[in-house]
Structure 1
Amino acid sequence: MEEIVRNTLLDVYSKLGDMEEAWHCFEEMGKLGDDVSFNSLIAGYARLGKGELSLVLYVQFLRTGLRISQFTFAGVLSACAGISGLVEGKQIHALVFKTGFEGNVFVANAVMDMYAKSGELESSWRVFVGMHHRDNISWNGLISGYSREGLSEEAMNLFIEMLKYGVAPTHFTFSSILSSCASIGSLLLGMQVHCKTIHCGLESDVFVSNAIIDMYAKCGSLESAMFVFNERSNLNTISWTALIAGYAQNGFNEEAIKLFTHMLKSDFKPDNGTFASVLSSCASLTALNYGKQVQVHAIKLGFDSNIYTASSLVSMYAKCGDMKEASKRFSAMPIRNLVTWNAIIAGHAHNGEGEKVLELFRTMVEQDGIAPDHVTY
């Protein structure tokens, strides 16, 4: 009885993300610790993105000689997916075969997801094809994998096959496939998928409606994006960001800035994506004063040190001609990426500072080890 109670408590703490208390329960169990307690801990650490700890526990679990189950495999494979642990994932996949779990749909889905999130889509496809039974999680895993890797056509073809087999799409399916439509700029396909979400009764789901707004915005149909946005009763930061980004990307920079102002007045908090889009609009309009106001909000919310927002600030100041502030923001960044370097180099080039440009270029390549791209040149 004591073992059941402690396992229940451990599982509750694990699912709540309180791994300190979960570990405390595990330690108190001592020799009473069983496969259930190990599985709860492995899955708990994986959910929190601490896959390395999940793998340590998994190795410890194997040494105990306890019975391995589908839950063990699902938890540790999820951990591998979260940390791109392809080598470890392949080793665990081999054990799946050795222990006869390859026919278990729960485990097969976890294997497929691990390969997909590690960029090994061919391996993921082979697992999918070899499955005797597939559920919507199987289909969603591969579709999202293709979408994530930019293989939009493959994602669309698989979605069509999914419908032919009579498998009901979920909000995960639609989020992925709408993202693919947005990536290839296919408004017609996006509209057809939108109709399908209505048919399935999922158009009001927060994930799906955000994906619909994003799809219309990226396909240049801003009127449709705004219509869906205005019909929503469950708006969130992602909804606002998708719309603002759409207006910014399509050159409607003043409208993007107005939307950002409206967002703040509506008590929604911007994120990195929001700041990147509105700062891009400020840069395009050379609206330095408004850009400074946006920076104040970024500092207030703690986003100014984030590499994406910081890069956008460097770019905004450079394009607005304030190279002193652009250089200041650039120097304050602990980590820089190619976008940041391109922004500061372009700013100095625009101001005719050839020697400074060459100096920065050498530092980027020789010290930071960042390879230039066509934008740099």
Structure 2
Amino acid sequence: MTHKPLTGLYVMDPARFDDVYGPDERIEIEHHLTIEQPPCAAEDLSAATLRDVEVLVTGWGAPRLTADFLDRAPRLRLVLYAAGSVRPLVTDASWERGIRISSAGTVIADKVADFALSQILYALKHGWRYVLTARRTRSAAVRLSEPGTAGATVGLVSLGATGRATARLLLRHGVRVLAHDPYVPDSDARALGVEPATLNRVFAECDVVSLHAPLIDETRGMVDARLLRSMRLDATLVNTARGGLVDEAALVTVLRERPDLFAVLDVTDPEPPRDGSPLFQLDNVVVTPHLAGSLGPERRMLGQAMAEELSRYIAGRPLRHEVVADAMEHAA
């Protein structure tokens, strides 16, 4: 049976469009959609452009689905979002009007987990410490007592998509994994192969603590001086989630107090750090420029995931990456 193509529109940051939706992805999408307008930025949308749109194909720089926007797009039924968290996108109005949202967040989560794993394993070998010590002293670093992976304990803060992906990768390396997530039943954590624990235990007992929580009111600044001071000797904090999870002033204070501790920060608050930030002056911290996630050619994986979602939607099959309102409150 032949279906009439739905009317679609590409709307996102023009600078990132080709990174996400390459020729192959556009061919697959346009097999199902009639797209007559060239890709445009959210601020360039007009009521006439939106009037007949049924499927919005977007990514970074997506328009917010406010009531006013939806009034101008009365036929909109599906949004394909080739990016991560949909918090900047969805509103109460979009849920109330039954707009279906599919996000490539779980695709990005797998890439973040890859990066987190690399930093966790490197931390268990004290890799960054040796590199920075050798550079500072201009001589070979003296070996410390590295935990390695055998018998090491790693703590995960949050078992959202990224936390779960990181846990699965870690368990292949024989480490003990503790996890704190107050919204995940203990039985679910154990089924994943990790040990549920309080936040206090995670920080006090783990050789490496890796953050994967969403930044919401209740998590902002949750990693405070008390938790940092409770970390075991020679422990490392890895943050690939959001900089605002950590009280940065407290982190700087504790890292100065305890040179045995180390921090690997792929995200900061603000991001990037201000010029002259103490984070660039301490010997026991490494700052990377938000490398976790999908970079360069990896971003085509996001567009491909959304093209596949569209095919499933047209065929009446369940969407693999659909985001529902009930899962949003504490989602990363």
TM-score, shorter chain, exceeding 0.5:
no
Tell me which of the two structures has the higher relative contact order, counting C-alpha pairs closer than 8 angstroms and 6 or more residues apart.
2
Q: Judging by fraction of residues, say which structure has more helix.
A: 1
TM-score (norm 1): 0.29
Structure ID, larger Rg = 1
